[in-house]
Structure 1
Amino acid sequence: MGTPTEPPRCLGVVLAGGLSSRMGRDKALLSWRGRPLIEHQLEVLREAGVDEARVSGMRPDYQGVADATPQAGPLGGLAGIAQAVIGDADLLVIPVDMPLLQANLLQRLRSEQPQASSVSFAGHVLPLRLRLNTRSREALAELMSRGDPRRRSLRALQSALGHVELALGAGEAAQLADCNTETQWNEVAG
């Protein structure tokens, strides 16, 4: 755990628990530069300097952490990670389907606005730095208890925690291209 002069430990999290229904096949296992996309994303987190990298979702080959509530989207994945992590930490959360993401952009997200509870780039929910502590765990639990799934979202969590958005520099926005469909994947993987 961090002290006032020492930042908290930073855990990288790849969100890989979705059904990939719009893609029609498992996005985490798409081949990216000769290896599964999930492995590439874990490597990007390590290059960004996280203390440990984890996978959110039932991925036995990657010691994946099960979602707290199945099919509850990214929030369910984060709730599962929150239950599995002991103590406070900063979570550096990335989706599995953002292959152009680079470590230097994640390092910016990790280092800027160090006191903020929740930080992402302007206009984007992910990647996200989330301060995992009592307050954020309580917010996650409250959101997960909501009966209406449309009221359980990363945006709702960010709003509850007092979210900060960072401006994107020239050329950085291209790194945040999501590949949710075959068409989007083909454009990026070209």
Structure 2
Amino acid sequence: MIETLTALILAGGRSSRMGYDKATIMLDGMSLLDRAIDLAHQAGATSITILGRPDHPLGVADNIQYGGPARAISAWASGLQKPTQALVIPIDMPLLTPEILSLLIKEDSGGYFEGHYLPFTAHVHPGTAPDAQRIQDLLRIFGVRKLTLEGTLLDKFTNINDPQALKKLLALQTRE
């Protein structure tokens, strides 16, 4: 039986399209990294690991710097000592909510939403050390179930990858 929920926060990318570290972007008085940590706590994570952040107290270095999220998750999985439910949260989706994540968490086989490989949950067992280069491959290897997403929730999957996306998000928030 899997009793732990470990949040894996993906924070190790180059942020080349943004031009600076996305983890430091401030939104409503919190950095995107702090928002992701807070979201993980609200979703019920019993532990949090920040992939690609060896300088953070909760962080670990990527085994291949800038090798991508799938490789970082694979490296994490290779060190597991007991079965774990992983909740994978990207740093650059600041509108995700605990309610959305709970839909994934309660899936027995893990889950992701159709059209969005991130976030996802997966039940990962020791000895599962996939050498995946793409998130889609991990989802298949871990046996994660594809879920249908309600249209009203689509805006919560806004991804902040470049200055234009950030500007658009900030403009929307000012209107609200």
Q: Fold match, TM over 0.5? A: yes
Match of 1:69 in 2: 64
CA deviations 1:74-110 (Å, max 9, x no partner) are: 0122123224443110100010000000011001110
Q: Which amino acid aligns with 1:28?
A: A
Q: Does 1:156 align with 2:137?
A: yes
Determine which of 87, 90, 98 is the counterpart of 2:85: 90
Stretches of structure 2 lacking an aligned partner (at least 5 in a row): 172-176
Counterpart of 1:185 in 2: which secondary structure?
helix
Counterpart of 1:106 in 2: which secondary structure?
helix
Match of 1:180 in 2: 161
Counterpart of 1:79 in 2: which secondary structure?
helix
Q: Which amino acid aligns with 1:177?
A: T
CA deviations 1:86-145 (Å, max 9, x no partner) are: 311010001000000001100111003x1x1x420011100010211146x23x23x3xx
* 2: CA distance, partners of 1:90 / 1:157: 14
Counterpart of 1:60 in 2: which secondary structure?
coil
Q: Which amino acid aligns with 2:120?
A: L
Deviation (angstroms), 1:186: 1.2
Aligned-pair RMSD on alpha carbons? 1.7
Stretches of structure 1 lacking an aligned partner (at least 5 in a row): 144-151
Residues 187 and 89 of structure 1, relative CA distance in 2, 3 Å threshold:
same
Counterpart of 1:130 in 2: which secondary structure?
strand
| CA contact 1:68–1:79 (8 Å) conserved in 2 | no
Please say which of residues 81-90 and 44-53 is displaced more in the overlay. Answer: 81-90
| CA contact 2:123–2:142 (8 Å) conserved in 1 | no
Match of 2:117 in 1: 125
Q: TM-score, normalised by structure 2?
A: 0.89
Alignment of 1:111-150 (within 5 A): 111-112=106-107, 114=108, 116=109, 118-134=110-126, 137-138=128-129, 140-141=130-131, 143=132
Q: Which amino acid aligns with 1:153?
A: R
